[in-house]
Amino acid sequence: MATIVYTSGTTAAPKGALITHGNFVGQVLNVGAAYTGVVREGGNTVIFLPMAHVLARGLQLICLANGMRIAHLSDPRDVVPALGVLKPTFLVVVPRVLQKIQASAAAAAARKHLGRVWVAAQQTAVEWGRFAEAHDADPSVRAPLGLRARHAVFDRLFYARLRALVGGRLDYLLSGAAALDAELSLFFRGLGLPVIEGYGLTETTAPLTGNMPDAISAGTVGVPMPGTSVRISDRGEVLARGVGVFAGYRRPADNQDAFTDGYFHTGDLGELDELGRLTLKGRIKDVIVTVGGKTITPAIWEGYVEGDPLVAHAVMVGEGKPYLGGLVLLDPESVTAWAEREGINDLAGLRIPDDGCAVQIEDARLLSTIGKAVSAANAKLARSEQVRTFVLLLADLSEANGMVTPTMKLKRTAFTERARHIVENLYAESRSQA
Write out the DSSP string of 194-228: -EEEEEEEGGGTEEEEE-BTTB--TTS--EEPTTE
Mean pLDDT by groups of 10 residues along the chain of 434 residues: 84 83 94 90 88 87 93 82 89 83 84 89 94 87 90 93 90 84 91 93 92 90 93 94 94 92 93 92 85 83 87 88 89 80 66 66 86 92 89 76 71 79 77 51
412: domain range?
A: 287-433
Q: Which residues contact 348 (CB under 8 A, 6 or more apart)?
A: 362, 363
- Alpha-carbon span 325 to 429, nearest angstrom: 12
First to last CA, the chain: 59
Residues 340 and 229 in one domain: no
pLDDT for residue 265: 95
Closest CA to 280 of 377, 214, 181, 355: 181
- pLDDT at residue 93, rounded to an integer: 84
Number of domains comprising the chain: 2
Paired with 282 in beta bridges are: 269
Sheet containing 90-93: give its strands across: 90-93, 172-175, 195-201, 206-210, 223-224
* Residue 386 one-letter amino acid: Q
> Is the same domain home to 37 and 138?
yes
Q: Are residues 223 and 242 in the same domain?
A: yes
How high is the pLDDT of residue 185?
A: 92
Residue 240: per-residue pLDDT: 96
Q: How many CB atoms sit inside 10 A of residue 217's CB?
A: 20
Whole-Å CA distances, 345 to 107, 229, 431: 17, 54, 34
235 with 333, same domain: the answer is no
So what's the pLDDT on residue 92? 87
Instruction: Say what the pLDDT of residue 354 is.
Output: 60
Please tell me whether residues 223 and 296 are part of one structural domain. no
Classify residue 316 by its DSSP letter: E
User: Which of the listed residues 251, 281, 311 is the one where a domain comes to its end?
Assistant: 281
Asked whether residue 254 falls in the same domain as residue 296, the answer is: no
If one counts every other C-beta atom within 10 angstroms of the C-beta of residue 138, the result is 8
Amino acid 398: pLDDT = 67
Q: Which of 256, 281, 306 is the last residue of a domain?
A: 281
Final residue of a domain: which of 281, 305, 328? 281
